[in-house]
């Protein structure tokens, strides 16, 4: 699994004009991608890393501060643009494989006591965020 994690002062996801997920205070935005070899163990590891990542102010984690997390599925994280101008998406897991694993990351964060908002899997989403810092990391598990 792969995630791009950004520290944000606020963020939201809109689908068809409706806000489906948002965080209104400082926290994290996690764009999450799944590849074919991923399973529950990777989802749990990714949830733990996101929760414990010490990138909030004063080197604190979301767990330390009770900060919210906005999780958004993002199959394009496994896009491969090394050849030509058109990315290949073949490394991204199909929806029936990816969706339950993204849900498992969300569940893992909630089980750790975090407030979690989400986008809508497979939807065309408008993502707005105010990146704080800016701080952006790529996590591969």
Q: Which of 37, 76, 118, 121 is catalytic?
A: 76
Sign of CA dihedral 103, 50, 109, 68: negative
Q: Where are the domains of the chain?
A: 2-140
Q: Does 6 participate in catalysis according to the annotation?
A: no
Q: Check: CATH 3.30.40.230 for 2-140?
A: no
Q: Which of 6, 14, 42, 74 is catalytic?
A: 74
Mean pLDDT of 119-127: 96
Task: Say how many Å lie between the first and final Cα of the chain, rounded.
Answer: 5
Cis amide leading into 134 (omega within 30): yes
Please give the model's pTM, rounded to 2 decimal places.
Answer: 0.95
Q: Does 76 participate in catalysis according to the annotation?
A: yes
Q: Which of 75, 118, 121, 136 is catalytic?
A: 75
pLDDT digits (tens, 9 = 90+) for 40-93: 999 999 999 999 999 999 999 999 999 999 999 999 999 999 998 999 999 999
Q: Does 74 participate in catalysis according to the annotation?
A: yes
């Amino acid at each position: 699994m792969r995630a791009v994690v950004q520290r944000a002062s606020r963020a939201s996801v809109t689908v068809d004009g409706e806000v489906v997920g948002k965080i209104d205070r400082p926290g994290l935005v996690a764009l999450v991608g799944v590849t074919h070899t991923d399973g529950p163990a990777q989802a749990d590891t990714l949830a733990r890393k996101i929760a414990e990542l010490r990138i909030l102010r004063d080197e604190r984690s979301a767990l330390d501060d009770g900060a919210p997390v906005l999780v958004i599925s993002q199959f394009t994280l496994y896009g491969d643009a090394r050849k030509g101008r058109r990315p290949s998406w073949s490394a991204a897991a199909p929806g029936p494989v990816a969706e339950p694993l993204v849900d498992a990351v969300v569940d893992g964060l909630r089980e750790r006591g975090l407030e979690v908002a989400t986008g809508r899997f497979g939807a065309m989403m408008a993502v707005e965020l105010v990146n704080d810092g800016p701080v952006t990391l790529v996590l591969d598990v």
